[in-house]
């Protein structure tokens, strides 16, 4: 099974958590795109979706699923999203697709976060994947200097603007032994909108697709 087939297997496994009449929080990325395709088969049995990005919102609407603003939705029973890296503690790096801020908001509004990945993304220590940090444009250099001070090597994601009109710094070479503390530390830097560490509010359940099928990891 290639990586895309594994992503699809993880995405289809998440359908098990979708209940009749649910309003479903939907993340962003190629794994989630498989989930949206699967969800389309059940579009008449859910009440709609709250999306973490403009890209996913477009796909959801194209699939015939109503997209509702989070402000009109209240708390969500379920959020399904992918990740760039995950540990067995269900701490995540997200934001490879640039949607980290809205993903963090939808995750915070959700009672149950099911994360779907292929097994190449399961790691013992986060940080091999460069950590995305969304930054207000005028603070880019300032935040970059502070991130160097924390031991990282920030790289400006050239030519990319987030759905919120901001820029992204991808921080290389961080060995993230204490993700909860680092998430707070980076999140408090002036000019940072959000950091792609999902540790304080990590996933509640991880579906990991590999050659032998889909494994479930829980907190
Ligand atoms: C987007 C994300 C994605 O969940 C993450 O990048 C994984 O993407 P993919 O499923 O394409 O591998 O955080 O901001």
pLDDT in tens, 57-92: 999 999 999 999 999 999 999 999 999 999 999 999
pLDDT digits over 92-125, tens only?
A: 999 999 999 999 999 999 999 999 999 999 999 9
Q: Which CATH class is domain 3-123+200-218?
A: alpha beta
**Does the Cβ of 86 fall within 6 Å of ligand 1?**
no
Place of tokens 């924390």: 150
d(CA 115, CA 32): 10
- Pocket-testing residue among 32, 54, 86, ligand 1, by greatest number of atoms within 8 A of Cβ: 32
Whether ligand 1 lies within 6 angstroms of the CB of 29 is answered as: yes
* pLDDT at residue 219, rounded to an integer: 83
Average pLDDT (23-44) is 97
Closest residue by Cα to residue 25 from 76, 82, 88:
76
Closest residue by Cα to residue 102 from 53, 166, 160: 53
Triad 9, 15, 19: Cα angle to 5°: 175
**Residue 100 CA, ligand 1 centroid: distance in Å:** 9
98: left (phi over 0), alpha (psi -120 to 50) or beta: left
Residue 28: predicted pLDDT: 98
Q: Ligand 1 pocket test: which of 56, 84, 85, 166 has the largest number of ligand atoms within 8 Å of its C-beta?
A: 84
Looking at residue 86, its pLDDT comes to 98
pLDDT for residue 200: 97
Q: Which of 52, 96, 113 to mutate to test the pocket of ligand 1 (most atoms within 8 A of CB)?
A: 96
Average pLDDT of the residues in 8-17: 98
pLDDT score of 178: 97
- pLDDT at position 125: 97
Contact in structure between 100 and 132 (CB atoms under 8 Å): yes
Q: What is the pLDDT of residue 1?
A: 78
Predicted confidence at residue 136, as pLDDT, reads 98
Q: How confident is the model at residue 18 (pLDDT cuts 50, 70, 90)?
A: very high
Handedness of CA 219, 77, 118, 163 (dihedral sign): negative
Closest CA relative to residue 42, chosen from 57, 69, 64, 71: 64
**Ligand 1, atom nearest to 121 Cα:** 12
Residues 47-64 have a mean pLDDT of 98
Closest-lying ligand 1 atom to the alpha carbon of residue 28: 1
Contacts of residue 181, Cβ cutoff 8 Å, sequence gap at least 6: none
Domain 131-195 has CATH 1.10.10.10: no
Q: Answer yes or no: are the C-beta atoms of 80 and 114 closer than 8 Å.
A: yes
Ligand 1 mean position, distance from CA 165 (Å): 19
Cβ(28) – ligand 1 distance below 6 Å: yes
CA gap 161, 88 in Å, rounded: 32
**Residue owning the nearest CA to atom 6 of ligand 1:** 96
**Domain residue ranges of the chain, discontinuous segments joined by +:** 3-123+200-218, 131-195
Q: Which of 173, 219, 170, 169 is nearest to 199 (CA)?
A: 219
As a whole number of angstroms, the distance between CA 23 and CA 142 comes to 40
Query: How far is residue 94's CA from residue 49's CA, in Å, rounded to a whole number?
Result: 20
Q: What is the pLDDT of residues 129-187, one digit of tens each?
A: 999 999 999 999 999 999 999 999 999 999 999 999 999 999 999 989 999 999 999 99
* Cα angle, residue 198 at apex, residues 115 and 40 outer, rounded to 5°: 30
């Amino acid at each position: 099974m290639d990586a895309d087939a594994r992503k699809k297997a993880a995405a289809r496994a998440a359908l098990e958590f979708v209940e009749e009449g649910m309003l479903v929080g939907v993340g962003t990325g190629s794994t989630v795109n498989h989930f949206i395709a699967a969800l389309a088969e059940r579009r008449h049995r859910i009440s709609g979706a709250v999306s973490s990005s403009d890209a996913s919102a477009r796909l959801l609407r194209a699939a015939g699923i109503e997209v509702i603003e989070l402000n009109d939705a209240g708390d969500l029973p379920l959020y399904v999203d992918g990740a760039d890296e995950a540990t067995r503690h269900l701490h995540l790096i997200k934001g490879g697709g640039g949607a980290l801020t809205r993903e963090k908001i939808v995750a915070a509004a959700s009672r149950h976060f099911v994360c779907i990945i292929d097994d190449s993304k399961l790691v013992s220590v986060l940080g091999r994947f460069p950590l995305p940090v969304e930054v207000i444009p005028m603070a880019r250099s300032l935040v970059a200097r502070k991130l160097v001070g924390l031991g990282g090597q920030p790289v400006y994601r050239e030519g990319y603007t987030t759905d919120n009109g901001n820029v992204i710094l991808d921080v290389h070479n961080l060995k993230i032994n204490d993700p909860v503390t680092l998430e707070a530390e980076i999140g408090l830097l002036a000019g940072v909108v959000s950091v792609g560490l999902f540790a304080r509010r990590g996933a509640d359940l991880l579906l990991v697709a590999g050659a032998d099928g889909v494994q479930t990891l829980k907190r």
